[in-house]
Structures are given as structure tokens and as C-alpha cells.
């Protein structure tokens, strides 16, 4: 097991589109970026605290197909931190 340091967690909202049945859906994924003891960066993903596959490896919830296009995600933290009052 790796020793993890410098864990950086961000919530990213991804939008998906199935090339097979044209289903569209969106999901907020926690992206955990960390470095192991030799400084090698690795990324894991979780949804609601449960580890999950990378967004690129998602199956369509409607037809189960893997020909899923991932639309560019954006960090939801930017929406929360909207304190631009000056
Ligand atoms: Zn589909």
C-alpha cells in the first residue's frame, strides 16, 4: 500500500453523453490527487465517498454501453466560492 501525502480533493462535475443511445447525464465526482513517497502523482475518483472508476471509463446507465463521451468537467468549487463582492 502506498504512503500518501499531499492529498488534494476537488469536486468536478462531469457531463456524459452516450454515443449509442444519446442519453445525457451529469455526475459530480470527487477527484483525489495525491503523491506517493517518491513524488509520483496519482489520481483516484470517488462518488459520494465511494471509490469509482475514472469518468473516462464510465458505462452508460441506460444501455450499459462504454461508448461514452465525457464532456469537459469543471470544478464546482468555483461556483461555491462566488464571493466576488469587491
Ligand atoms: Zn447508452
Distance from residue 69's CA to the centre of ligand 1 (Å): 10
- Residue 25 C-alpha cell reads as 447525464
Q: How far is the C-alpha of 25 from the C-alpha of 60, rounded, in Å?
A: 9
Q: How far is the C-alpha of 70 from the C-alpha of 33, rounded, in Å?
A: 19
Distance from residue 47's CA to the centre of ligand 1 (Å): 20
1 or 49, which is more confident? 49
Distance from residue 77's CA to the centre of ligand 1 (Å): 29
**pLDDT for the residue numbered 81:** 47
**pLDDT for the residue numbered 26:** 92
**pLDDT for the residue numbered 2:** 57
Distance from residue 19's CA to the centre of ligand 1 (Å): 7
Q: How far is the C-alpha of 14 from the C-alpha of 3, rounded, in Å?
A: 29
**pLDDT for the residue numbered 82:** 46
Distance from residue 46's CA to the centre of ligand 1 (Å): 22
Q: How far is the C-alpha of 40 from the C-alpha of 51, rounded, in Å?
A: 20
**pLDDT for the residue numbered 86:** 54
Distance from residue 45's CA to the centre of ligand 1 (Å): 22
**pLDDT for the residue numbered 7:** 82
pLDDT in tens, 12-61: 999 999 999 999 999 999 999 998 888 888 899 998 889 988 888 889 99
Amino acid at each position: 500500500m502506498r504512503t500518501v501525502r499531499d492529498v488534494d480533493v476537488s469536486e468536478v462535475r462531469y457531463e456524459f453523453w452516450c454515443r449509442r443511445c444519446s442519453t445525457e447525464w451529469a455526475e459530480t465526482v470527487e477527484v483525489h490527487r495525491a503523491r506517493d513517497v517518491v513524488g509520483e502523482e496519482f489520481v483516484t475518483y470517488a462518488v459520494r465517498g465511494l471509490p469509482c472508476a475514472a469518468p473516462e471509463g464510465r458505462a452508460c446507465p441506460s444501455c450499459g454501453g462504454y461508448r461514452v463521451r465525457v464532456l469537459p468537467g469543471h470544478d464546482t468549487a468555483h461556483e461555491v466560492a462566488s464571493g466576488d463582492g469587491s
